[in-house]
Amino acid sequence: MALLFQSAVDNANWWVTELKRRLPNLDLRVWPECGDPADIDYALVWKPPLGLLADLPNLKAILSLGAGVDHIFVDPELPVDVPVARVIDDRLTAGIVEYGLATILAAHRRFPEYAQNRNKGEWRILSQRTAEETRVGILGLGVLGTSLAQACVGLGFQVAGWSRTSRRDPLPGGLVHHHGNDGLENLLAKSNILVCLLPLTQETEDILNRDNFAQLPKGAWVINIARGAHIVDDDLLAALDSGHLSGAYLDVFTVEPLPQNHPFWRHEKIILTPHIAAVTDPRSVADQVVENIRRVENGEVMHNLVDLTRGY
Amino acid sequence: MALLFQSAVDNANWWVTELKRRLPNLDLRVWPECGDPADIDYALVWKPPLGLLADLPNLKAILSLGAGVDHIFVDPELPVDVPVARVIDDRLTAGIVEYGLATILAAHRRFPEYAQNRNKGEWRILSQRTAEETRVGILGLGVLGTSLAQACVGLGFQVAGWSRTSRRDPLPGGLVHHHGNDGLENLLAKSNILVCLLPLTQETEDILNRDNFAQLPKGAWVINIARGAHIVDDDLLAALDSGHLSGAYLDVFTVEPLPQNHPFWRHEKIILTPHIAAVTDPRSVADQVVENIRRVENGEVMHNLVDLTRGY
C-alpha cells in the first residue's frame, strides 16, 4: 500500500515520522519522488500541481492536508470518481479561534492605530466601544466559524453569522444566524468587524467585493482567514483608500507566497501574515489520515468526506 | 453635599452628566474649581495633586476613579482617617480581559515578529507552540487577574497565577496557584508569557526587575497592565537587549504620559499603548460611586473599601 505525500509548505519529514509510527508498512513516497504512478493508492496533498492526481491511475482516495479542498478542486483534470476527505481537527480549530480572537480584539481595541501613534511618539487616548457595542459578523458557520463565534459571544461581543444555505443543526446561544443573499445584506450592514471563514467555492469566490464592502458600516474591519480568492484585491484597496474601511487583517492570498510587487505588502492599513492562522499538525491529524485509509481499505466511507457538488 | 471631581484623564463632563442624573442635588465641583475646601464631603479622584486631599478638612470619603489606589496612597499628607474606596466594575474587568487576551494571543502567535517580517517583505512561516504548550503566568489574583486567568484557561493555555499571600477563596479550575517568594520563583521559571496585574504597593514596586527577569525562560514575553512602577525600566531594556526576553507589551509607565525622550518609545521589542487597557466608564461606575456616598451618609461601610495596611 503506497501513499504519495505532496506539499510545498508542510514538513514532509515530520509527516513521514508520524505516519510511519502508525503504519510501519506503509510505502511512503514524498513528491516529486513518486516512483511508478500506478503504485499509489492514496494521495495526501496541499495545492497539488495540476494534473498530478489524474496521473495516478489506481488512486483510491485523496486526502487534503487542510480544512479546505479548493486547492484540489481547482484542477480541471481531477478524477471525479475518487473520494476526497478534508481535515477537521481540534488543533486546526484552536488555531483559527486564536488567530480570529487575536485580530478581532486588536481591531476592537484599535491596536493598529495605537501602533501608528506610537511610531509618531504620540500619547493619545482614542475613544473605545465596549464589546457589547461592537458587532462581529462571521461569514461561514462550519466548525471553524461556529467555534470562533462562540468565543466572541463569550467575550460579550454582538455576534452574527452567515451561511449560504440555512442550517438545521443548533448554533451557539447568543449567535444571530443569517443566510442567503438577503441575510448577507443584513449581516454586512451590521458588522463592525467582518471575518471570512467560508469554504472557497464558485459561489463564494470574490464575495468580498466592492458592492459588499460598500454595505459594511464606515470604519469597519475585514479579517480574512479563509482563502485569498474570497477577496477582490483591488476592491479592498479602494475601500481602504477611500477611508470606508479602517483596515484589514489578511492571512491568505490568491497567490501564495504573496508576490513581492503586490500592493498589500506596503499598504499601511493592511496587516498580513503568511497563511499561518491554522497549520495542520501531523501529531494530531495523522490519526484521521490513518483512520481514513483503514476505512477505504475496509470499504467504509471516509470521515470528513467532501461533497463534490457543494465543493466542501 | 458637595463632591470634588479631579482627573487629568477622565472626561469631567461625562462624569458630571452621569452623577447629576443620579443625584440631582449634588453640589458638583470640578477641580481646580474647588470653591471653599471646607464644603467638600467627597473626593472622586485620579492621581490627585500631592496635598490636595489634606486640604479638604471635612472630607468623609475618598473615591478612586480606578481599580488601583496607589495614585492616592503616594501622597505623604493623605488624611489617614478618611476611608478610601476603589472601583470594581464589570466593564473595567472586561477591558482588562480584552487587552490581556489580545496581547497574550499576539505574543503567542508571534504577531510582532510577523509584523517585522512583513515590513521587510519577508514571507516566512515561524514555528508555533500550541496553547497547551504555552505557559501563561499571571501576577496578581484579584478580580482582574482571576478573570483573565479564567479566559486563558478557556483557550487551552497552561495558566498559573501568583499572589503575595495565600488565598482561601476558590480559584478558577485549571489555574495553578503560587504564593510567597518561593511561589514567585516557581511561577517565573515556567512563564512563557508573564502578565502583571498586581496592585502597586511597597511590596510589589520594582517586582519586575533584573533578578526576576533572569528567572523567566529565554524568549519570554512580559505584559504590564498594572502600574509602571512595577517595572524597573532599565532592567527591562537590558533583558530585551540581551535577547533573554522576546518583547514587552506595556500599557502603564512610571511617568504618564511617557516622556518623549524615554527609550521605550523607540525600542523595537516594546509595543506600548497610552494606559488604555481598561478605562473607567462613568455609565457603569457612577452607580457604585452614588451607592458609596449613600452608605457613608447612612453610617455604613463603603463597598470596595481599601485596606490601608495592605494598600489595596
Residues of B in contact with A89 (CB under 8 A): none
Query: Does a structural domain hold residue B307?
Result: no
**Catalytic residue check, A227:** yes
Q: Note the pLDDT tens digit of each residue in B44-95.
A: 999 999 999 999 999 999 999 999 999 999 999 999 999 999 999 999 999 9
Q: Rounded distance, CA B169 to CA B187, Å?
A: 20
Determine whether the interchain pair A123/B274 forms a contact, defined as Cβ–Cβ distance below 8 Å.
yes
The CA distance from B162 to the nearest CA of chain A, in Å, is 24
Q: Note the pLDDT tens digit of each residue in A72-112.
A: 999 999 999 999 999 999 999 999 999 999 999 999 999 99
Beta-strand pair B61-64/B245-250: unpaired
Catalytic residue (choose from A29, A164, A230, A275): A275
Same domain, B145 and B162: yes
- A156 reaches B (C-beta below 8 A): yes
Name the one residue in this structure whose C-alpha cell is 486588536: A106
Which residue range is the domain that position B61 belongs to? 2-89+280-297
* Predicted pLDDT at B311: 84
Q: Rounded distance, CA A268 to CA B128, Å?
A: 26
Query: Does a structural domain hold residue B311?
Result: no
What residues of B are annotated to the active site? 227, 275
pLDDT band of A308, cuts 50, 70, 90 = confident
- B193 reaches A (C-beta below 8 A): no
Query: Does a structural domain hold residue A306?
Result: no
* Predicted pLDDT at B169: 77
Angle at B22 between CA B19 and CA B25, to 5 degrees: 80
A33-57 average pLDDT score: 97
Query: Does a structural domain hold residue A7?
Result: yes
Question: What are the backbone dihedrals phi and psi of residue B132, each rounded to the nearest 5 degrees, phi first?
Answer: -65, -25
- B258 reaches A (C-beta below 8 A): yes
- A257 reaches B (C-beta below 8 A): yes
Same domain, B189 and B205: yes
pLDDT band of B176, cuts 50, 70, 90 = very high
Q: How many domains does chain B have?
A: 2
pLDDT band of B308, cuts 50, 70, 90 = confident
* Predicted pLDDT at B309: 85
Same domain, A51 and A190: no
B10-18 average pLDDT score: 94
Name the one residue in this structure whose C-alpha cell is 492570498: A253
Determine whether the interchain pair B121/A265 forms a contact, defined as Cβ–Cβ distance below 8 Å.
yes
Q: Which of A99, A123, A265 sits opposite B258 (nearest CB)?
A: A123
Query: Does a structural domain hold residue A307?
Result: no
B280-292 average pLDDT score: 94
Above 90 in pLDDT, residue B155? yes
B239-244 average pLDDT score: 98
pLDDT band of B312, cuts 50, 70, 90 = confident
State the sign of the Cα–Cα–Cα–Cα dihedral B46, B52, B54, B56. Answer: negative
- Could you say which residues from 39 to 98 on chain A have a Cβ atom under 8 Å away from some Cβ of chain B? 91, 94-95, 97-98
A210-218 average pLDDT score: 98
The CA distance from A276 to the nearest CA of chain B, in Å, is 7
* Predicted pLDDT at B250: 98
Same domain, A72 and A130: no
* Predicted pLDDT at A310: 87
Same domain, B228 and B104: yes
Residues of B in contact with A128 (CB under 8 A): 95, 276, 279
Determine whether the interchain pair B98/A115 forms a contact, defined as Cβ–Cβ distance below 8 Å.
no
Above 90 in pLDDT, residue A171? no
Q: Rounded distance, CA A60 to CA A40, Å?
A: 8
ipTM of the predicted assembly exceeds 0.95: no
Same domain, B58 and B136: no
Q: Which of A118, A121, A265 sits opposite B260 (nearest CB)?
A: A121
Percent of chain B beyond pLDDT 90?
Answer: 93
- B26 reaches A (C-beta below 8 A): no
Same domain, B25 and B157: no
Query: Does a structural domain hold residue B304?
Result: no
* Predicted pLDDT at A278: 95
Q: Whole-model pTM above 0.95?
A: no
- On average, the pLDDT of chain B sits at 96
Same domain, B284 and B199: no
Same domain, A268 and A202: yes
State which amino acid sits at residue B1.
M
Same domain, A131 and A259: yes
Same domain, A151 and A213: yes
Query: Does a structural domain hold residue A228?
Result: yes
- A102 reaches B (C-beta below 8 A): yes
What residues have CB less than 8 Å from A148, skipping those under 6 apart? A96, A97, A100, A101, A138, A195, A197
Determine whether the interchain pair B109/A94 forms a contact, defined as Cβ–Cβ distance below 8 Å.
no
Q: Note the pLDDT tens digit of each residue in A226-253.
A: 999 999 999 999 999 999 999 999 999 9
Radius of gyration of chain A (CA): 21
Determine whether the interchain pair B102/A109 forms a contact, defined as Cβ–Cβ distance below 8 Å.
yes
Determine whether the interchain pair A105/B109 forms a contact, defined as Cβ–Cβ distance below 8 Å.
no
Residues of A in contact with B151 (CB under 8 A): 155
Question: Is residue B270 within a helix (H) or strand (E), and if so which, with residue range?
Answer: strand B270-272
- B105 reaches A (C-beta below 8 A): yes
Closest-CA residue in chain B for A125?
B274
Asked if omega into A257 is within 30° of 0 (cis), the reply is yes
The CATH number covering residue B9 comes to: 3.40.50.720
pLDDT band of A44, cuts 50, 70, 90 = very high
Same domain, B195 and B243: yes
Above 80 in pLDDT, residue A168? no
Above 80 in pLDDT, residue B116? yes
- Give the A:B interface size as CB pairs under 8 Å: 104
Residues of B in contact with A90 (CB under 8 A): none
Question: What are the backbone dihedrals phi and psi of residue A268, each rounded to the nearest 5 degrees, phi first?
Answer: -70, -15
Query: Does a structural domain hold residue B305?
Result: no
* Predicted pLDDT at B23: 97
The torsion defined by the Cα of B5, B15, B92 and A158, in degrees rounded to 10, comes to: -170
Contact yes or no for A247/A107 (Cβ under 8 A): yes
